[in-house]
Chain A
Amino acid sequence: MFSYVVRRILQSIPILLVVLTLVFVVVRVLPGDPAVAALGDYASKEAVNALREKMGLNAPLWLQYLRFIGDIARGELGASIITGYPVAKQVATVLPHTLLLTMSAIILGYLFGVPLGISAAVRRNSFVDYFNRVFSLLGLSVPAFYLGILLILLFSIKIPLFPVVGAGEFSNLKVLLRHLFLPALTLGLLMMAYITRMSRSSILNILGEDYIRTARAKGVAENRVLYRHVLRNALIPIVALGGLYAVVLIGSSVMVEIVFSRPGLGTLMVGAIKQRDYTTLQSVMVIYTIIVVLINLLTDLIYGLVDPRIKYN
């Protein structure tokens, strides 16, 4: 088990490196000169060249790449070429909000999605099953930003219960939670839809297995069959695929942050694109990349804990 953990962590490093290279390439492909974007179209050639020199854009590509990797390793994210403000500080301010939102959504998704999926699988063709199927179909079809807008219409405009924009401060918990509710609900409903569909099909698969039939034939009580035999085995794919969907959720969180005007990585990234702020864009994409690699790593590690075939190898 320990060797599996170590091996998995070490594997993440080359993956991270390759993905960071892709980020480097994508940002370099953006049209326009970053120095011109920073100084404006009427800047003199000398000024533009001086800024390019300062930004290291005149160096050969391989040197720029090595500096890029070195900077990231040291946690040096540069400064915004529009405002001059250090990107690391900006990221540090907004990252907690993004993490709070995403984590809340994942927790909501599992908390309500798994029990709903179980009830639907166990009571086939009942109202719960029917509700589950309709709910998951709708949840998988609705765009995140549209759901957010609908919730704003209902619970902020028609019935003024929750604030529309912003995220509040971490120092004031009540305000923070009030601002968190609708965005987390938006993402949470989407996660719920996916998890509940997955749980239902995972459990249905297991219910058809021979060892379940054996347990019932032996006279084992239905509760025990469910808990001891079905759930433990069903949990494995639920965890694995949930981790996969968490990565999709990160993409959707960008949309939710924009709709609710929440400070976050998504808002930062879209703002950077609109302003052609290369340094900020590059650094934000690096952060997203690291988050995704970490989520994949975490999923695999949890998988290793939950799947006895890996745990006791």
Chain B
Amino acid sequence: MTAKENVKSREISEGERMWSAFLRNRTALAGGVIAVLIVLVGIFAPWIAPYDPLAQDSYYRLAGRSVKHLLGTDDFGRDVLSRIIWGTRISLIIGICSVVAGLIVGTLMGMVAGFLRGKTETAIMRLTDVIMCFPDLILAIAVTAALGANLLNLILTIALVMTPRFARLSHGLILSLRERDYVVAAQAIGAGVPRILARHIFPNIFGELLVAGTLWTGVAIRLEANLAFIGLGVQPPTPTWGNMIREGVDVLINAPWISVFAGLSILITILSFNMLGDGVRDMVDPRLRGD
């Protein structure tokens, strides 16, 4: 027997390499765990929340933290902890749905622009330039005011803000990829544009899109909170973190915990997505993976 046969070796796949790089990154791991926990809280809110978020209790108005109400109560006697737990749903639904919508539409736009070039590309990229001329928040405020503030409109508005970002990102990626040998070869043997886009381009931009999607979910959640604080979010009495902070500001001197804890939820959620996104970026970039 030779030494070679004695040693058992195994091909480590790309996926395994990426996963172990992710696990080694403690910040990313922490971010991922927290993000998953927050999503679970959102999903199981009806079972986790100790009280009905809309139930008012005039006797315990503006009560501080106690065993009965772990995070205190608000001006209507509603349990702050329960409202924060239920508020997780709104923030996550709006944040994730708007980013997914923006990703799908934006990436399609960018891919079409990057691949077809010419007048189509100019038209699409000029459109994204114009939309991106407005600061995110100001555009979101204007469009929400125009459409009205409810769950669906908020998702649409923030998706509108996200779409040009994804369009620009995928457009840039496509431009760098389309000259690669395997794309030119695929074109040479007669592969059609949809097939090239689906089988050759998309798998290679997927990683970058995942990074952007994760990081920009934090941006979307922050946008929603901003709108809710101004009064352009999902309307009361539905609990959203932004609404709660706004109501809490009125009683800030006597009952700061309302605003503080609602805001802390926003901060932790955005933080976890940022940590996770940084980790995914390191995981996706082969140079940083340690390849």
Contact = CB atoms under 8 A, between A and B. Distances in A.
A146 B136 contact: no
Contacts of A274: 231
Interface residues of B, number: 39
Contacts of A247: 135
A254 B138 contact: yes
A252 B145 CA distance: 18
Contacts, number: 111
Contacts of A140: 274
A182 to B, nearest CB: 14
A222 to B, nearest CB: 26
B253 to A, nearest CB: 6
Interface string B264-291: 0011001100110010000000000000
B141 A270 contact: yes
Nearest to A296: B133
Contacts of A31: 146, 148
B259 A149 contact: yes
A288 B231 contact: no
Nearest to B148: A31
B134 A289 contact: yes
B135 A251 contact: yes
B111 interface: no
A254 B275 contact: no
Given A149-B249, A153-B260, A270-B141, A141 B146 contact: no
Contacts of B130: 15, 18-19, 22
A22 B132 CA distance: 11
Interface residues of A, number: 43
Interface stretch (B66-74, B78-86, B171-179, B221-229): B221-229
B138 to A, nearest CB: 6
A258 interface: yes
Interface string B229-250: 1111000000000000100010
Interface of B: 126, 129-131, 133-138, 141-143, 145-146, 148, 218, 222, 225-226, 229-232, 245, 249, 252-253, 256, 259-260, 263, 266-267, 270-271, 274-275, 278
| Nearest 7 CB-CB pairings of A with B | A251-B137, A251-B135, A146-B263, A141-B271, A141-B270, A273-B145, A29-B146
Given A149-B249, A149-B263, 13 more contacts: A22-B134, A26-B142, A137-B275, A138-B271, A141-B267, A143-B222, A143-B270, A153-B252, A153-B260, A251-B136, A255-B226, A273-B145, A293-B133
Interface of A: 15, 18-19, 22, 26-27, 29-31, 137-138, 140-146, 149-150, 152-153, 157, 247-248, 250-252, 254-255, 258-259, 269-270, 273-274, 281, 285, 288-289, 292-293, 296
